Structure 1
Amino acid sequence: MAVVGWWFEGMGVIGTALTRRRLFEFAMGSAALAAAGCSGDPAPTHVAQREVRTTAGLVRGQIENGIAVFRGIPYAKAPVGLLRFQAPEPYPQWKGVRDAFQFGPQPPQNQPAGEVLEPMGPGDEWLTVNVWSPNTRGHGLPVMVWIYGGAYIHGSSSMPIYNGANLASQGAVVVTLNYRVGVEGFVQIDGAPANRGVLDQISALTWVRDNIAAFGGDPGQVTVFGESAGAGSVVMLLAAPSASGLFHRAAAESVPGVFQTPELAADVSLLIAGALGKLPTVDALGGVAPQALVDVEFGLVRTLATYQRRWGLAQVVSTTPVLPVIDGIVLPETPWQALSRGVSKDIPLLVGTNRDEYALMMPTVGGVRKITPAQAQEALHTLPPIPDGPEAYRAAYPRMSDGMLYQTVCSDYLFRMPSLHTAQAHVAGGGTAYLYEFRYDATPVGAAHSVELPLIFGTAGTSGARFYGSPPSAGALRLGKQMQADWLSFAATGDAGWPAYAAYSQSTRLYDGRSVSVGPFPEQASERIWASASFDPLPLPRV
């Protein structure tokens, strides 16, 4: 999950970058100038604190390198007891001042090996937000709300890679949030609403709308952005009726194209509950310790390949048994159906993918060299939306090994083509979309899934060192600065700085190892194979 040579080649690119910078500064006005050098927040040589009044009460944060930081502010009640598996409820008011120095506890999950988190508070108040502000005494700053990924089964806003200080230092108010994952957030349970993790995100965005002005942000200029499951969440929020009006721009990095039908979701929940001798109901599971459910869930993750006959190869390729469900209420239809109908057409969209997406997941199947011809043939036959997938892929990529063909078709199926399809659906519905592809491959896993995150957050030299080294190369840092400028420009103006996507031009921002340029969408061969894909929710196979 969570580099490049000099990219300002040619006066056209330089001019575009300078124009975008002027737009950014114009949109931020005097607030941007205050944030840059005249902030109401001091730039102390000692630890200072700052108090802000929210709708629930006063919170006290700290000034860290000139940025006011507030961690672990609850936006909803702890979803335990009678609230277990229910929609989030607003947090009650408190008296006095609440310290906001530590991240809130992460939702129940198993920690990925080697992952290090920032210090977190104890307890079960999982639903919290964190705010980085360059000027709490100003107003009108663009707001960037981050939604983490993690295959819908893990993730936390306390991951160091998501530190919002760097983006905030460039003039935005940055918000990160926790939402329920796994069984707590997404498994279908009788007596509980579906997609509870999405409902959490909507609740957090409601908190942002009602409170962010007190931190210097503009509640009318909110951008949601996320990666992987976070990007899936972004497109779900674009489609969800109950999220309407809560944000004004959206950025989605590596949109996963996988959702479940209620029938498949019910079978997954039946298996999880049955492993504990329970039925998948609120009454039966409400008293089960969260960790017990997590243990069963991750047991399924480890043995997911053995359920291929029961759930299908597409579910196995997704690497998780737990996915959002098209339930008819929170999500009346798939995001692509909603976008193509013009839902959220007034919200500009920045969306893209990484060239080597599935390279990060290949170790789960033993790596490229372990893929057999039979495995490649099955994936090429099953995943593409055409009857002659193996012939089409082998003709399009004649020099690829079986392992690379497997990686390519899985990349296309899970992230690359859904991301492209998201841009196409949004434009078809009357919206504006900016498409990109991340192609920088000087990392141990190439231009794989999630490797862009340290560049966008400016954490390549710390938590991103496993991808970019310590210290990162000058090229990696330059590329990161460019991506940060693009994301900030989009958040401030709704214009990413390159031509919007159109069917005739397919303008795509290419973040490459030698230059940053704009050209046609580079994955033309795969696009032709996937032109008829609808990315319908996964059904329960009839065995």
Structure 2
Amino acid sequence: MVALTFLAFAALFAPSVTAAPAQAFSVPHVDPTKFLCQLPILKKWVCPLKGTAALNRQTPCGTAGGIQDPQGAYRFVVKYGNAARWAPSTVASTWALPNGFTNTSALPLACPQPGLDPSNYSEDCLSMVLYVPPSLSLTSSAPTLVWVHGGSFVVGSATGVGLDGSKLAIATNSIVAVVQYRLGALGFLAPNGQNNLGVKDVITALKFLKTVIPSFGGSSSKITLAGQSAGANMIRALLAVPSASNLFRSAILQSDPMNFGFIGTTTQNTLISNFTGQVNCSGGDSACLNALSTDTIINEGMNVFSWAYILDPAAGRNQPLRPVLDGSLITSPLDSTGSFPAVSKPLLITSVSNEAGPAIYGGFPALPENMFAPLCEATFGPERAAIVVAQPLYSPVPAADGSIDARAQLQQVGTDYLWRCSGWTFARSWVSHGGKAYVGEYIVGATYPSNDWVSYCAKAGVVCHEDDIQIVFGTTPNPTSAQSALATEMQQRYKAFLSSGNPNTAGVASWIAATATDVHPILLGGSGEAILGACDPSFWGSGVQYDYQFYAQ
């Protein structure tokens, strides 16, 4: 009835189809919305909500109360799901503030993780933060960007540094939802055979969003997933979940460490066996498992994380707790080790120019050149290392004073094999099987706080892992002109992508879609395309196998 009424009134202000004769004066444009907003029956639907109505939304789950974020958007926090320890989550049926809070300005507690005071986390942590631009009306049918945080699946939250989605929501005229999910052993080492609980949490969040998002002016069919690092890895896992395909229509993967691949069930069972041995509980002893303190679960989960590579080299050194290729939820490896499925969703796939900078320069003092080969061998094994060391693109890089620090070579190798080249390989496979992908590399960034202690990451022209986050969100403190320009550009591109699946829009350089033979990696913050370098398909992925190939995950 409302839609019919709207159409009837809109017709009153529609331009006539009869061409008017040329006149010596112009007729001023009349915005029909201004007239429609004066009509009480339509005002609620076609006009942006103001005051109390804007901060108290009626949803299918109950009244959502919020506040106006200091940066301008309306902010709503909510508990999207419920879950018992080591059980799959279920969608919340009522709108409730997280953690039993009564103050709508309170932000949710994080999921249990190392490095936080226990007062700052809770196992009851399936929460999200919604940022709604004030421009939306209930009939806006705006897109929603769902941000999945990174942190190697052991740390992170919806309230991490730089993740205030207010500026991003306003710039893209979209709803931004920042979600959190179970981490560490609670999300990825369930002793009772419940794999992928963290992945299932994000699915639960998407189901909740599809129900409530129209109450904020969003469209349940215009949801884009976006995330960085492990968050992007989570999204890639969801791309391999057929049952989740209808929950989102496009995805943005920033700095996904695709070299690892999903973890195999054999490796996963090895890690779980070690965990249950450490906590002295069998997988079927629910009483023992439920009696464990959260602190014990965190600590023993991190012990597994630290020793996983020794327990099974296929786990990898840096992100051993990750989505499991279980064959039931996640049904495809989405790589060359199995049949790649037919796909259709559009993707943005980006990396930064110095992904491995924090790990290499933060983990080692200056290294003589003769350390390059043995460190490669410790990482890749002798056969793969010999090929890497012989690659001319990884030859010594003399500094201005003529000295050689092997960290420069190791940084480039790490960036290529963990992120850059493996991401380009994935893009080629994606477009070869029906999807569309746009590939980019950030050469301008904003040093993320976790990189402040790595002097290398503060050097001019260096963009380390995580340094793209505050650019995208527009949350860089005291940005330079280059950072501001790139933030504006990326938000324009994201606005276009959220609406159409294409990041091209007026006023920015053309971003050419990847093909099966040329990924056309645009330089973000520069001009032109990134050089191919060692990302030639004949080298990484062929001459030197990625870890997911080498360990036959």
Q: What range describes the TM-score normalised by the shorter chain of this pair?
A: 0.7 to 0.9
Matched letter for residue 167 of structure 1? L
Residue of structure 2 in register with 1:18 after alignment: none
Q: Distance in 2 between matches of 1:350 and 1:373?
A: 33
Residue of structure 2 in register with 1:355 after alignment: 353
Q: Which aligned pairs between 1:248-263 and structure 2 lie closer than 5 A?
A: 248-257=249-258, 258=260, 259-263=262-266
- After superposition, give the CA deviation of every residue in 1:458-510 in whole Å (9 maximum; x if it has no partner): 1111xxxxxxxxx2212211111112211222112110111110134431210
Matched letter for residue 52 of structure 1? R
Q: How far 1:331 sits from its partner (Å)? A: 1.1
Matched letter for residue 242 of structure 1? S
- After superposition, give the CA deviation of every residue in 1:242-287 in whole Å (9 maximum; x if it has no partner): 2111001100001122232111111212222222222344624232
Q: Distance in 2 between matches of 1:94 and 1:308?
A: 42
Matched letter for residue 463 of structure 2? A
Residue of structure 1 in register with 2:144 after alignment: 143
Q: Distance in 2 between matches of 1:475 and 1:108?
A: 37
Q: Distance in 1 between matches of 2:49 and 2:161?
A: 23
Matched letter for residue 424 of structure 1? R
Q: 2:501 aligns with which of 494, 498, 506?
A: 494
- Cα pair distance change 1:389/1:234, threshold 3 Å: same
Runs (5+) with no aligned partner, structure 1: 1-28, 462-470
- Cα pair distance change 1:450/1:370, threshold 3 Å: farther
Matched letter for residue 531 of structure 2? P
Residue of structure 2 in register with 1:162 after alignment: 163
Q: Please tell me whether residue 275 in structure 1 is matched to residue 278 in structure 2.
A: yes
Residue of structure 2 in register with 1:530 after alignment: 540
- Cα pair distance change 1:204/1:377, threshold 3 Å: closer
Runs (5+) with no aligned partner, structure 2: 1-31, 38-45, 398-404, 448-454, 505-510
Q: Distance in 2 between matches of 1:338 and 1:136?
A: 47
- Cα pair distance change 1:30/1:510, threshold 3 Å: farther
Matched letter for residue 269 of structure 2? A
Q: Distance in 1 between matches of 2:323 and 2:382?
A: 19
Residue of structure 2 in register with 1:455 after alignment: 471
Q: Distance in 1 between matches of 2:184 and 2:158?
A: 16
Q: Which aligned pairs between 1:60-209 and structure 2 lie closer than 5 A?
A: 60-64=65-69, 66-71=72-77, 73-77=78-82, 79=83, 83-93=84-94, 100-111=104-115, 124-134=123-133, 135=136, 137-170=138-171, 171-190=173-192, 192-209=193-210
- After superposition, give the CA deviation of every residue in 1:441-462 in whole Å (9 maximum; x if it has no partner): 685512111101000001111x
- Cα pair distance change 1:537/1:157, threshold 3 Å: farther
Q: How far 1:187 sits from its partner (Å)? A: 1.4
**Contact 1:342-1:430 at 8 Å conserved across structures:** no
Moved more, 421-430 or 528-537: 528-537
- Cα pair distance change 1:112/1:104, threshold 3 Å: closer
Matched letter for residue 322 of structure 1? L
Q: Distance in 1 between matches of 2:124 and 2:104?
A: 13
Residue of structure 2 in register with 1:40 after alignment: 48
Q: Distance in 2 between matches of 1:452 and 1:485?
A: 15
Q: Percent identity?
A: 23
Q: How many residues align?
A: 473
Q: Please tell me whether residue 474 in structure 1 is matched to residue 481 in structure 2.
A: yes
Q: Which has the larger radius of gyration?
A: 2
- Cα pair distance change 1:282/1:128, threshold 3 Å: farther
Moved more, 220-229 or 472-481: 472-481
Q: Distance in 1 between matches of 2:528 and 2:243?
A: 36
- Cα pair distance change 1:481/1:389, threshold 3 Å: same
Q: Distance in 1 between matches of 2:334 and 2:226?
A: 16
- Cα pair distance change 1:387/1:93, threshold 3 Å: closer
SS in 1 for 2:422: helix
Q: Which aligned pairs between 1:230-269 and structure 2 lie closer than 5 A?
A: 230-257=231-258, 258=260, 259-269=262-272
Q: How far 1:387 sits from its partner (Å)? A: 7.4
Residue of structure 1 in register with 2:381 after alignment: 382
Q: 1:52 aligns with which of 49, 57, 60?
A: 57
- Cα pair distance change 1:140/1:340, threshold 3 Å: farther
**Contact 1:239-1:334 at 8 Å conserved across structures:** yes
SS in 2 for 1:275: helix
**Contact 2:92-2:208 at 8 Å conserved across structures:** no
TM-score (norm 2): 0.77
Matched letter for residue 254 of structure 1? S
- Cα pair distance change 1:351/1:198, threshold 3 Å: same
Q: Distance in 2 between matches of 1:174 and 1:442?
A: 21
Moved more, 402-411 or 430-439: 402-411
Q: Distance in 1 between matches of 2:410 and 2:301?
A: 26
Q: Distance in 2 between matches of 1:540 and 1:502?
A: 27
SS in 1 for 2:418: helix
SS in 1 for 2:246: coil
Q: Distance in 1 between matches of 2:322 and 2:64?
A: 35
Q: Distance in 1 between matches of 2:367 and 2:53?
A: 54
Q: Distance in 2 between matches of 1:95 and 1:473?
A: 40
Residue of structure 2 in register with 1:329 after alignment: 328
Q: How far 1:392 sits from its partner (Å)? A: 3.8
Q: How far 1:91 sits from its partner (Å)? A: 1.8
- Cα pair distance change 1:222/1:441, threshold 3 Å: closer
Q: Distance in 1 between matches of 2:58 and 2:480?
A: 42
SS in 1 for 2:521: strand
Matched letter for residue 500 of structure 2? T
**Contact 1:87-1:200 at 8 Å conserved across structures:** yes
Moved more, 152-161 or 398-407: 398-407
Q: Distance in 2 between matches of 1:70 and 1:238?
A: 27
SS in 1 for 2:162: helix
Q: Please tell me whether residue 434 in structure 1 is matched to residue 441 in structure 2.
A: no
Q: Distance in 1 between matches of 2:209 and 2:539?
A: 41
**Contact 1:141-1:217 at 8 Å conserved across structures:** yes
Matched letter for residue 540 of structure 2? W
- Cα pair distance change 1:431/1:321, threshold 3 Å: closer
